[in-house]
Amino acid sequence: MEKKNTVFSILLLVSYALLIGILIAIMIKNNFSEKNKFRNVYTMSKILTIKNMVANSHNSEIIFAFSSSGEASGLTSSYKSYLKLLNKDKCIENYKPCGILDTIGHKLCIDETLDCPINNMKVDTIHRTDNYLAKNYHYTQLSNTSIDYRLFYSNSYEEGNVGVIIVKSKDEPKYISKSNFIVDSDFYEKLFGSGKLLEDLSSVLGISNDKDKNDNNNNNDDTGNMIKIVQLLIDASGGETELYKLGAKGILVFLTSSYNEQLDRFKKYIETKLEEEGEEDIYFNHIGDSFYVKNYIGFKSSKDIDKFLKFDFTIFNKKFPSITASTLALPLALIIAIASIILIIFMGCGEQKSYFEPLALIFQFIIIYLPSLGFLIYSLIIYLQVNKNKKIEELKSIQSDEFINNFIKEFVSQCQEYLLIFCTIVIIGISFILFLITIIIYKVKDNQPDYSYVARTSQKTYN
């Protein structure tokens, strides 16, 4: 009987080992290190930044003309309204094509009775002025142009890109950089605790604040190697546009005396990540003298825009495992480890039978297997709520430009990681089944008479 007890004890230890292994994996996946928290803040901030970029782009005006002093004027219609003028990639009746509207190649359609907006721009030396005038260009002196350079522009190029933003940059403009990155202060506060709100993100990343930008707009010291020269924003009062405008809190970070070193580490982490992941914005068109022009961030339809801007990206924080789950996994793993040590000691003393007494089994079920079943149920719920979420499927269906599509793919892959959640369900299930099988078989064997003992007794009686 002692050998059988050892076999049952080993099976129970295997069950314990499986539980400890998966709980450690859960802790490692969502560990409590500062770097992991920084990574999560960076991800949520990247989401906030991209949503702001899209909203800001779509609420920008198409540059229509320049005054002789270089002041720009624009068309006040929004990007969505231009999409409505298209029917199967062709302009609707009474509208004419006037250039490329966005980054996925939609045509800009304008009323046939009106002039087209600017659809071609070049920054070149004043010595070539006559050449451009002969090609139906106009010119102006744009701010921040180099000495002996002018901006030449025309509205006669149907295949040219319209402009909604003009920047000057020493390097190729990046899609996300220090000049447009926004920290998700709410999420930062959630992970690191509340603090005293001070200056905007630019102060953290070593960039001048908005007031300083206005005061020094004509200086040559650019923000993150990029100066925004022209971007006209539509004056949107109310409506859905307001949902995506960033209030002060969205661009604020907080700092207390005890946060100085931590915030400095966070700053370095963000700078490193932006350097590593900073992709060149291939949709900026270089027009000369370090000037770049970009049209709207393109989406296939207005429905796709709504899906993207209204999607609840905070679902990222619900993915498996949560911080709470990782926190609870640690004490449970320690309890199971202690139970394993006790069982091994009992095996060494030959007293493991007492470990299978009804009261001990009930105690094991309450402190070990019941919480483990809680993890199993939680993983199933997250699988249904996140991995099989219909909204995520809608997000995947969005058609946009290469950068937005890649961002969506990256986000979805992070939310729908199957391996750990699948392993959790399978391993905890196997562990629980092993526990039940061990107890059932043990009790059946324990209740059977010892036939060898009966045989020996009968033999003695016969003799």
pLDDT along the chain (463 residues), means of 10: 68 93 91 84 93 93 92 92 93 96 97 96 96 94 91 94 93 89 85 53 43 37 59 53 34 47 86 90 95 96 95 90 89 94 83 74 91 94 89 94 96 90 95 87 58 46 47
Task: Look at residues 456, 361, 352, 449 and name the one whose alpha carbon lies nearest to residue 3.
Answer: 352
**16 and 120 inside one domain:** no
- Could you give the CA distance from residue 327 to residue 164 in angstroms, rounded to a whole number? 48
What integer pLDDT is reported at residue 442 of this predicted model? Answer: 64
Q: Reduce the DSSP state of residue 287 to 3 states and report it.
A: strand
In a domain, 122, yes or no: yes
What integer pLDDT is reported at residue 3 of this predicted model? Answer: 58
**21 and 120 inside one domain:** no
Task: Look at residues 298, 250, 320, 241 and name the one whose alpha carbon lies nearest to residue 56.
Answer: 241
In a domain, 80, yes or no: yes
In a domain, 314, yes or no: no
What integer pLDDT is reported at residue 250 of this predicted model? Answer: 36
Q: Is the distance from CB of 107 to CB of 96 less than 8 angstroms? A: no
Task: Look at residues 297, 195, 289, 210 and name the one whose alpha carbon lies nearest to residue 248.
Answer: 210
What integer pLDDT is reported at residue 220 of this predicted model? Answer: 37
What integer pLDDT is reported at residue 198 of this predicted model? Answer: 37
Tell whether pTM > 0.85.
Answer: no
**25 and 111 inside one domain:** no
**418 and 354 inside one domain:** yes
What integer pLDDT is reported at residue 409 of this predicted model? Answer: 95
Residue 72, phi then psi, degrees to nearest 5: -90, 150
**23 and 91 inside one domain:** no
What integer pLDDT is reported at residue 312 of this predicted model? Answer: 92
115-155 pLDDT, tens digit each: 999 999 999 999 999 999 999 999 999 888 999 999 999 99
Amino acid type, 270: I
Total domains in the chain come to 2
The first and second tokens of residue 273, run together, are 């990540």
**72 and 151 inside one domain:** yes
**17 and 105 inside one domain:** no
In a domain, 112, yes or no: yes
Per-residue DSSP letter, 228: E
- Could you give the CA distance from residue 148 to residue 152 in angstroms, rounded to a whole number? 13
In a domain, 414, yes or no: yes
What integer pLDDT is reported at residue 5 of this predicted model? Answer: 65
**26 and 71 inside one domain:** no
**99 and 16 inside one domain:** no
What integer pLDDT is reported at residue 445 of this predicted model? Answer: 56
- Could you give the CA distance from residue 209 to residue 10 in angstroms, rounded to a whole number? 65
Angle at 119 between CA 113 and CA 121, to 5 degrees: 140
Please identify, among 138, 169, 200, the residue that sits at the C-terminal boundary of a domain. 169
- Could you give the CA distance from residue 345 to residue 192 in angstroms, rounded to a whole number? 42
Per-residue DSSP letter, 313: G
**22 and 128 inside one domain:** no
In a domain, 377, yes or no: yes
Per-residue DSSP letter, 299: B
**329 and 439 inside one domain:** yes
Q: Which residues span the domain enclosing 101?
A: 62-169
In a domain, 363, yes or no: yes
**17 and 114 inside one domain:** no
In a domain, 260, yes or no: no
Amino acid type, 5: N
Distance of CA 173 to the CA centre of its chain: 21
